[in-house]
Amino acid sequence: MDSKFSDVKAKFNENANQYDNQRKKFIPCFEDFYSIAVSIAESNSESPNILDIGAGTGLLSFYISEKYPNANLTLIDISEKMLEVAKERFKDKPNVTYIIDDYTKHQFNQKYDVIVSSLSIHHLTEEEKKQLYNNIYSILNENGVFINADQVLGGTSFIESLYKRDWKHKVENSGLSKEEILSGYERTKLDKMSTLEDQVCWLKEVGFLDVDCIYKYFNFVVLFGRK
């Protein structure tokens, strides 16, 4: 494992037990961000095969499982501590598979009806994002959908500074402790965000249809594509 992914793994292992409690305060648009991602996770099957990339504690998968209680879920993440939290969350649900691995290198051996990701892909370089989108397309069933609820880089330096100012103001007035805020700021050093425009373009280049940004709140977006 290269040093970049070791850093990501270490930071999220360290924060696994507090991650969900803090997330609502680090994401000012939390309710819309997740509910919209779930609302567009459509499948014709009552028991769809769903893959959560960079699943972390399984929060997005949990919300989707409420929509599709008979879904077959696969959660992949590099952090074993985060997946331990997910396992506790899904302890009463039998149809969940856990993979501790780097999802940019993992060889998936099946296809999926829905592939989702939340707050993970922005840790990848541009080339890694492009390759990942290609890989995701290849393991989707026909008419399968990909949903990425994530953060994007501002299209200009002015817009990016606007995004950062707004986010920091809201985080620092959220009720988080100083230590929690500093820890959150430290994790942002792992970010390698790309612009919304670039990512829409990359998804289209791979072959995705109906690509759109379904939701946007400053730099928080929900991207959609269909195979």
Could you give all domains of the chain from N- to C-terminal order, each with its CATH number? 3-226 (3.40.50.150)
Tell me how far apart the alpha carbons of residues 64 and 89 are, in angstroms, rounded to a whole number.
13
Percent of the chain whose predicted confidence (pLDDT) is above 70: 92
Q: Which amino acid type is present at position 98?
A: Y
CB neighbourhood size of 39 (10 A): 14
pLDDT tens track for 97-119: 999 999 999 999 999 999 999 99
Q: Is 101 helix (H, G, I), strand (E, B) or coil?
A: coil
Q: Residue 73 forms beta bridges with which residues?
A: 50, 96
Are 53 and 116 spatial neighbours (Cβ–Cβ below 8 Å)?
Answer: yes
Q: pLDDT band for position 10 (50/70/90)?
A: very low
Q: Which amino acid type is present at position 19?
A: Y
Q: How large is the average pLDDT for residues 17-35?
A: 85
Q: According to DSSP H, which parts of 99-149 are helical? A: 126-138
Check pLDDT > 80 for residue 3: no
Say how many Å lie between the first and final Cα of the chain, rounded.
Answer: 31
Give, for 117, the enclosing helix (H) or strand (E): strand 112-118
* pLDDT of the residue at 32: 96
Percent of the chain whose predicted confidence (pLDDT) is above 90: 80
Q: Is 102 helix (H, G, I), strand (E, B) or coil?
A: coil
pLDDT tens track for 125-167: 999 999 999 999 999 999 999 999 999 999 999 999 999 999 9
Q: What is the pTM of this model?
A: 0.91
* pLDDT of the residue at 15: 52
